[in-house]
Each structure stands twice: as C-alpha cells, then as structure tokens.
Amino acid sequence: MAQQQTYEVWAPDATSVSVVIDDGAPVAMQADGPWWRTSTAPTGPGRYGFVIDGGQSSGAGGDVLPDPRSPRLPDGVHGLSAPFTVDEDLWTDGGWQGRAIAGAVIYELHIGTFSPGGTFDSAVERLDHLVDLGVGFVEVMPVNGFNGTHNWGYDGVAWFAVHEIYGGPAGFARFVDACHTRGLGVVLDVVYNHLGPSGNYLPRFGPYLTDGANTWGQSLNLDQAQSDPVREYILDNALRWLREFHVDALRLDAVHALVDHTAIHLLEELAVRTDALAAELGRPLSLIAESDLNDPRLITDRDLGGYGLAAQWDDDVHHAIHTTVSGERQGYYGDFGSYECLATVLTGGFFHAATYSSFRRRRHGRPIDPAVVPSTSLVVYTCNHDQIGNRAIGDRPTAYLTPGQLAIKAALVLTSAFTPMLFMGEEWGASTPFQFFTSHPEPELGEATATGRIKEFADHGWDAEEIPDPQDPATFTRSKLDWSEPDEPAHRRILEFYRSLIALRAGSPDIAANSLTSVEVEFDADAGWFAMHRGGLSTVVVLSPADTVVPIALEPVLLWDPVTTTDTGFTSTGHNVVIGRRIDA
C-alpha cells in the first residue's frame, strides 16, 4: 500500500481548496485557519497541484496550479509539482567544515553559459580549473524555476524549485557536493524582491504581492496585512538552500527593492536565523547583499544597530577603477574617473558617502566607520554579470582595453583590503561577450523584452541594429565561454597573472589586513601613476601609455611588464603593474 503524503498550502482567502494527484479526481482539503491540509496516498509518481475555489479556467495555468513551494517542477513552471528530497547518500562532503566569506576570492558564474553543456554536471567538469586558479567560493547566478530554456535567472517564479534544464534539484546537490569535495564554498544568488512575468501563480493563492511596485514589477508583501506568512515563505526558502542543499552563503539580489517598514527588517530576521542555523550545523553561513544604498548598516553588527549581514557588493569600487582605467564617464559613471575618486574608494569603501550624486541629483550614501565595519565586508570586482551584461552589447573589458589595463584592474581588486570577486572568464581575458538573453515562450513577452532593451539604449545613442535581440538563441550561444582560449598564449598570460595575484593574496599578511586603515595611497595624476600601500607591500599601477617615471623604490614581487629599477624608483614603458616590497629611503 502506498504511503500517505501530507499536502498543505497557504490560501487565506479561499473558500475551498482541492489537491489533484497524478491526474486523479480532486481531493478536498480541510481548512486549518489560513492553511489547507489533507493526507492521501498517491497512486502514481505523486505529481500534484491545487485547485482554488473550484478553479479559474481562464487563468494562465488553468484549474490546477503548481504548489507555491514546489520542490521540483519536472514539466516547467506551468506544470504539476513533484516531490523531491535530497538523497542523503548523494553527499560525500562530510569532511567539509565550511569557510568564512571575509577576504576569500569569489568566482561568479552562470550555469547555462559557464560550460559547453550548460548544466550542473557539465560545470563540475570545470571546477578543477577554479581550484588551480585559487578561488575560495563559487557564486552561482539564480537557478530557481523560470519559464523558458535559458535566462539570467532573475525572472524566477518557482523559488523552491531548481531549473530542470540545468539538472534540477538533484543536479544542483551534486554540484554543491563536488565543490565541497574540492575545497570550494558555494554562494547561491537568490531573488526575493520581485517575481518574473510568466508562471507567477502566487496571487492566486494569497496576498503575496502588494499594490506597490519596484523596477521589476509588484513588490513582495513584507509589511502589510497577512504579510507574516509571506515573510516565512522567504525565510523558509533561504534556510532550505543552506540546510538541505549544503549551500554556504546566499547573495541577496537588490535588497534596496525590499519594501519593509516593520521594526525588525526582513534582512535582520534572516540574518538572525542564518546565524542560528550556522551554530546548529557547526559551519559558517553567510549572507551577502546587493544594495544600491551605500548603507553600512547592512554589514554592521546587530548589537551596534545594524542588520548583521556578512558582506555587501560595492559598485563604487567597480566604478572608480573602471572609469580611471577606461576613461568612460557616461551615465552613472559621471562622478567617477579621477585619481582622487580612486583613492577615496580604496581607503573609504564608498565614494558616495553622504555626498552629492549627480546621477541621482541628491545626496547619497553614508560613511563607513573603519572601527566598526571590517573592510572585507565589502565585495568588490572589476566585472560581474551586471557590469558586463547590462552594457548595450554585453562586451567585456577585453573588447576595449589593453592587456596591461586588464592587469591594472585585476591588481587593484585582488590586492585591496576588500573581498574580491571575479566574473567567469575574466581570469583569462575571455573575448566572448556576456549579453542579456531570454527565452520567453510567449511571443508578446519576448517582443516586449526586445523592444524595451532597444528603447533603453536608444536613449544613449545606440542604433537598434546594434542591440542584440535577447530572444535570439544566438545571443545566448554567443555568451558561452570558449574554453579553448586559456590555451592561447595571450589568454594564458593573463590567466597566469591572475593565478599569481591570487597566490600572492593568499600568502601575504599585509593583504590579509581587513581594515580600511590598513590602506594608504599616493598618486601623481599628471605623471600617470597610482600606488596602494598595504603594510610593507605596495601595488603600483601605471595608467599612462607612455614612459612613466615612478618615484617609489620597490623590490619587485610580481610584474605585468618588465621595468627599469633604480635606487629611487622605476620607469615603465606603458600600462603596467608593479607589486613589491618598498625599499626605505
């Protein structure tokens, strides 16, 4: 006799709820306050869905709706739910003790384009490359269920499921286990500020959304009537990845779009529960916020009035380095690009810290107190999915910078006082773009996406013909890494430089210092050089393309190009990096 299963769903405003199992007749569920429950034995594989108030056949999903907490959706976000529990025999990571985020090198990747196969198992085949590179964490862009075959992942609607084409939940568990057995931690990118446009059935069940909106659509109901179960929905989802899938950290997408006016913000509540789970499991668990607010309260300890998150992304550091090296100053880059700006972010973390932002036309940000916030609480990068993929044509810096300029950007990030992050392929100067791609099955949604992309960049002077069509399968294919490139001499040289930088970072106590006060800078903008001193180790970058005399005497440890040294300094012939021990005068 088949074992009985319990089915339950939160539907506070429903007058009746039934569950349909394996295409059988609807089974009535009993109300238990706002929850509906029943227990019955499936006669087949156990695929199931719910019928609310007799069904709404005119709705996108017809009468039978997938479970809002579907652990698996084998037929996609419009299909029936399926049971799934991670097989404990799958795990071989019993010796994994976890590791802290602070100061480690993170490597961001997109499962669909990281490897030729575009699956978790295919990605596992490339993990040894990351081990040889020396990174500590793999950060995976969102893998929750979305409609279509390929997507960046931020249009997810099935937060508890894993995209089947990547390998589903079992494939993700295998990937995490493979990372751990190689000594790599796993960061999962999760999105709690909005839902995608196709397959979002949550409003059919209850007040998951509000009338308010953010950039991407309706906001989640975090603080209005009946919001407590919605908050639990998010909290349960986050903790599930950490507990059941052995994930080590979560990157929380665009937390500035979380509208929460309760006394205990959702982020603080999640941090409290994450810390409790870490104590229970006996391994570090971390939360990393993406935030546009430049607000250090996110990463300030709770006993000092903060939320107590482990880290947050810092776009200001990216903007300062990118504009100084590339010369680009359009849009939100307008306030950046000077040597003074670069000095500010490397010693202070934020450029806009209660200062005027010309792009926003108001004051922005808040200063960081180095006595309160460790510098490693800021995650910095020269590339990430946004800073490449949200360019008009998704071009990487390799398309418009010299190899020496790429080396400059890498050195400033990897010898900084922050926690550095790379974007897949950056380490060998990948020539493949990372473009914005979608695969919406609905023609009207695909057309709206493509049209919106064209309009967005037309305002910046781009012709429509130049903007890749997100719906064109070739846009996705172009964005896959070319794994033959690391064997080519020019790419190999960049790769070896990255490896050397990461090894230097791992072996240098000066770089390990995790306070903003551990950084001193000096520069000569007219001469074209900039120096960042970390204790006895100095990173000097030459941004001038001509012969440049740098009056800092160093015993070189790592170079991009050879230099002519003297007792008083050195001369470089172009874009260059010189890292070394300073020789006292």
pLDDT band for position 216 (50/70/90)? confident
**SS3 label, residue 564:** strand
Tokens 């508890």 -> residue: 160
Tokens 């019955």 -> residue: 40
Average pLDDT over residues 530-534: 98
| 251 among annotated binding-site residues | yes
> How would you classify the pairing of strands 185-190 and 249-252?
parallel
Q: What is the mean pLDDT of the chain?
A: 95
Average pLDDT over residues 533-538: 96
pLDDT of 63-74, one tens digit each?
899 999 999 999
pLDDT band for position 60 (50/70/90)? very low
pLDDT for position 213: 65
Residue of 139, 155, 223, 253 with catalytic role: 253
Report yes or no: 460 and 170 within 8 Å, Cβ to Cβ.
no
pLDDT for position 264: 97
Q: Answer positive or negative: Cα dihedral of 302, 306, 307, 313.
A: negative
pLDDT band for position 2 (50/70/90)? low
Looking at the chain, which residues constitute the CATH 3.20.20.80 domain(s)?
Answer: 104-192+224-430+467-507
pLDDT of 235-254, one tens digit each?
999 999 999 999 999 999 99
pLDDT of 274-289, one tens digit each?
999 999 999 999 999 9
| 514 among annotated binding-site residues | no
pLDDT of 541-567, one tens digit each?
999 999 999 999 999 999 999 999 999
pTM summary value: 0.97
Say whether 290 is catalytic. yes
pLDDT band for position 56 (50/70/90)? low
| 256 among annotated binding-site residues | yes
The one-letter amino acid code at 37 reads R
Contacts of 24 (CB under 8 A, 6+ apart): 43
Average pLDDT over residues 290-299: 97
- pLDDT, greater one: 449 or 430: 430
Contacts of 265 (CB under 8 A, 6+ apart): 258, 307
- Could you tell me the two tokens for 353? 């810290």
Average pLDDT over residues 310-324: 98
Element containing residue 324 per DSSP (H, E): helix 315-326
Element containing residue 233 per DSSP (H, E): helix 228-243
Measured distance CA(241)–CA(153) in Å, rounded:
16
pLDDT for position 459: 67
Report yes or no: 115 and 130 within 8 Å, Cβ to Cβ.
no
Residue of 189, 248, 268, 290 with catalytic role: 290
pLDDT band for position 61 (50/70/90)? very low
The correct CATH number of 5-52 out of 2.60.40.10, 3.40.640.10, 2.130.10.10, 3.40.1190.20 is 2.60.40.10
Q: Answer positive or negative: Cα dihedral of 189, 191, 196, 202.
A: positive
**SS3 label, residue 286:** strand
pLDDT of 486-507, one tens digit each?
999 999 999 999 999 999 999 9
Position 445 pLDDT exceeds 80: yes
- Could you tell me the two tokens for 16? 């009746």
Q: Is 215 exposed, middle or buried (0-12, 13-18, 19+ CB in 10 A)?
A: exposed
Looking at the chain, which residues constitute the CATH 2.60.40.10 domain(s)?
Answer: 5-52
| 23 among annotated binding-site residues | no
Position 58 pLDDT exceeds 50: no
pLDDT band for position 398 (50/70/90)? very high
The CATH code of the domain at 104-192+224-430+467-507 is: 3.20.20.80
| 410 among annotated binding-site residues | no
The CATH code of the domain at 520-582 is: 2.60.40
Measured distance CA(321)–CA(517) in Å, rounded:
20
| 385 among annotated binding-site residues | yes
